Amino acid sequence: MIPVTGFEGRCVGVLGLGRSGLSAARALREGEAQVLCWDDNPAARETAEAEGFDIRNFARQSGFEGVDWLVVSPGIPHLYPEPNPVIAAAWDAGVPVDNDIGLFFRSLSAGGGWDMFDQPPRVIAVTGSNGKSTTSALIHHILQEDGRESQLAGNIGRGVLDIDPPVDGGVVVLELSSYQTDLARSLTPDVGVFTNLSPDHLDRHGGMGGYFAAKRRLFAEGGPDRCIVGQDEPEGRYLANQLSEGPTDDRVIRISSGRKLDGPGWNVFARKGFLSEYRKGRQVASIDLRDVRGLPGAHNHQNACAAYAAVRALGVAPRVVERALHSFSGLPHRSQIVAEAGGVRYVNDSKATNVDAALKALQAFPRIRWICGGLVKEGGLGGLQAGLGNVTKAYVIGREAAGFALGLSGVEAEVCTDMATAVAHAAKEAQEGEVVLLAPAAASFDQYDNFEKRGDDFAARVRETLGL
């Protein structure tokens, strides 16, 4: 645990008692703060009470009396589409609002003793729309392969305050969502990674501008020593330009998937299946990604570039990275191979909950039996068009399957509604050399609690259908 410092004897409210909220409450108590907790869910309140925490409904009159600080769980909206009433009340009471990420950076080095380290611990923070989890896990994997102490936390792995205090030369790898970067009052990573940007969570951020601004805070507020910035969208090129003092400023490492990056700076890009590192206009390393089974497709090659650049910023050798890439098995629900039978691969990419992520999955394989559908996000399905040429047939699930199928122009689409039917029909019709791919291009909440449940159902139906 990372004890939260700076609140000794002060009263801190915690709003939302999920994983991050309870973790923050425990870390605050460990740091000798007085903690008051609230969650609208009675079961969550009971769990907190069972751990000895005091409960207070901050929404009631004088709910913030005596409260010095409010820590909010990431799922609670603080501004758009409208402020949560408790957060609005905190504003009116003059109570600062923060989250567990802000507490982490505030407390990480506050305990003292860092002058005793030969190599001070480092923090790598990864944000962006797609690929954050794979990039973060891959960085963690490479560091472990290099024999370095590494912990994975944030939006993946453990809660950020649940990790152990880092050791000499240790690295903390954080995946940070826009919900987390938007509110944190302290953001001070040593290395910041921006993978890419595509429309997502727009209602939460008041549009694309607000969404990008939430991501940008990691760099503008945090001032990382090194910034790895994807260049495949205008926002990434804008951000790199804002952070750089000139074309040779190697504090900014530009990355891309699909095009060569020219210029005298520090560049890492993947093109035609090869990752290349260039510095001062000269190639210094190259890795063949085509046979790396855990990272199929251009979108995963971008993840490889981001992870490569992040660990190179810490001095990891290219040969170590290459070895680690081949031993990386990927993450569940992200281009995960769940079975192979009769020359057909079954791939679970349930995390592809938006059009951009699904498009990248479609572009990773040439002949696809595509299982898709769910709650379509803002912007519709038009952005999928560039990948539909790889689709042999679509099998549509979800409550609105018929409407979803109508949005797939030029593709044979069968309305299956449920996962069992979609998997059974796709498996029966699949030919050798094809891929049965779950890449929904939509949220899961019409049929499942989350994308993980959807991916697990896909894997279970595949095993059932194939008799595995």
Per-residue confidence (pLDDT) for residue 112, from 0 to 100: 54
Name the percent of the chain lying above pLDDT 90: 83
pLDDT category, 171, cuts 50, 70, 90? very high
pLDDT of residue 70: 98
Residue 143: what pLDDT? 98
CB 165 within 8 A of CB 111: yes
For residue 203, pLDDT over 60 is answered with: yes
Dihedral of alpha carbons 102, 91, 214, 82, sign = positive
* 375-417 residue pLDDT tens: 998 778 989 999 999 999 999 999 999 999 999 989 999 999 9
Quickly tell me which residue has 């689709």 as its tokens.
Answer: 391
pLDDT at 111: 56
Judge whether 178 is annotated as a binding position.
no
| Residue 131 marked in a binding site | yes
Q: Reduced to 3 states, what is the DSSP secondary structure of residue 254?
A: strand
Is 409 assigned to a binding site?
no
Q: Domain spans of the chain?
A: 11-98, 112-327, 336-466
Amino acid at 42: P
Q: What is the pLDDT of residue 448?
A: 96
Q: What percent of the chain has pLDDT over 70?
A: 99
Label residues 142-151 b or e (16+ Cβ within 10 Å = b).
Answer: bbebbebebb
Q: Which residues of 431-465 are buried (b: 16+ CB within 10 A; e: fewer)?
A: eeebbbbbbbbbbbeebbeebeebbbbbbebbeeb
- The per-residue pLDDT for range 311-344, each reduced to its tens digit, is 999 999 999 999 999 999 888 898 888 999 999 9
Tens digit of pLDDT for each residue in 127-148? 999 889 999 999 999 999 999 9
In the predicted model, is pLDDT for residue 263 greater than 90?
Answer: no
**Mean pLDDT of the chain, nearest integer:** 94
How far apart CA 414 and CA 395 sit, in angstroms, is: 5
Question: What are φ and ψ of residue 443, in 5° steps?
Answer: -70, 165
Fold assignment, 112-327: UDP-N-acetylmuramoyl-L-alanine:D-glutamate ligase (3.40.1190)
For 269-278, what is the mean pLDDT? 96
**CA-CA distance, 173 to 150, in Å (whole number)?**
7
Note the pLDDT tens digit of each residue in 78-112: 999 999 999 999 999 999 999 999 999 999 876 55
The whole-number pLDDT of residue 331 equals 85
Q: Give the Cα separation of 73 and 187 in Å (integer).
A: 16
Does the annotation place 128 within a ligand binding site? yes
Give 157's pLDDT tier (boundaries 50, 70, 90). Answer: confident
Q: Radius of gyration of the chain from Cα atoms?
A: 23
Given 3.40.50.720, 3.30.450.20, 3.50.50.60, 3.40.50.300, which CATH number is that of 11-98? 3.40.50.720
Residue type, 112: G
The pLDDT, as a whole number, for residue 31 is 95
Question: Could you tell me the pLDDT band of residue 114, with boundaries at 50, 70 and 90?
Answer: low
- Annotated binding-site residue? 132: yes
Q: Say what the pLDDT of residue 277 is.
A: 98
- The single-letter DSSP state of residue 331 is B
Instruction: Kindly indicate whether the domain formed by 336-466 is annotated with CATH number 3.40.50.170.
Output: no
Q: Find out whether 455 is annotated in a ligand binding site.
A: no
Q: Tokens at residue 208, please?
A: 């694309």
What is the model's pLDDT at position 113? 57
The answer to whether 83 touches 90, Cβ cutoff 8 Å, is no
Amino acid letter, 202:
L
Say how many CA atoms lie within 13 Å of 152 toward its Cβ.
16
Residues 453, 288: Cα–Cα separation, whole Å: 34
What is the token pair recorded at 398? 């979800």
Q: Which of 365, 360, 321 is nearest to 347 (CA)?
A: 365
pLDDT score, position 226: 97
SS3 content of the chain, % helix, strand, coil (to 5): 35, 20, 45
Instruction: State yes or no: pLDDT of 234 exceeds 80.
Output: yes
Euclidean distance between CA atoms 406 and 421, whole angstroms: 19
